[in-house]
Structure 1
Amino acid sequence: MSGSTRAMAVLTTGGLVAASAYSVALGGDGWLWFAWVVTALTTLGVAVSSRGT
């Protein structure tokens, strides 16, 4: 895993923690979770594509 892919994975994990904390403190927001899922899928795609090289 390259450095940029690893950084993206760390930021995605941090986003999950932030989204969870926001949901616990202020209630769930569908757009927040949608954005996180899109980010997670993008990170997964980058990780898979970088494995092939």
Structure 2
Amino acid sequence: MQGASRRIGGTMEGTDDEKGVAMPGSTDSSTKTMGVLTVGGLVVVTAYTAVLGSNGWLWFGWVVLGLITLGMVATRST
């Protein structure tokens, strides 16, 4: 039985495949997608800065995206 616990000798023993309950919006695939978007955004903002000069709003947007990604990583179930 996947994800179930069983009682052995008066103690509860969980199986290794227990994942817990994922919060809506923070599943493994969405967290990985946000990570890819954050890294891709860093590449784009860095390239823009190198070619056309610095734009504070782009860096601000990237920092906000990074913080959202970190929040998703911190709140996902393990």
CA distance in 1, matches of 2:33, 2:73: 11
Hey, which bits of structure 1, 4+ residues long, moved more than 4 A? Answer: none
Which gives a bigger RCO, structure 1 or 2 (Cα 8 Å, sep 6+)? 1
Name the structure where strand makes up a greater proportion of residues. 2
Structure 2 unaligned spans of 5+: 1-26
Residue 35 of structure 1 pairs with residue 61 of structure 2: yes
What is the count of residue pairs matched by the alignment? Answer: 51
Superposition TM-score, scaled by structure 1 size = 0.92
The corresponding residue for 1:16 is: 42
Superposition TM-score, scaled by structure 2 size = 0.63
Structure 1 unaligned spans of 5+: none
Name the structure where helix makes up a greater proportion of residues. 1
What is the Cα-based RMSD across aligned positions, in Å?
Answer: 1.0
Kindly name which structure, 1 or 2, has the bigger radius of gyration based on alpha carbons. 2
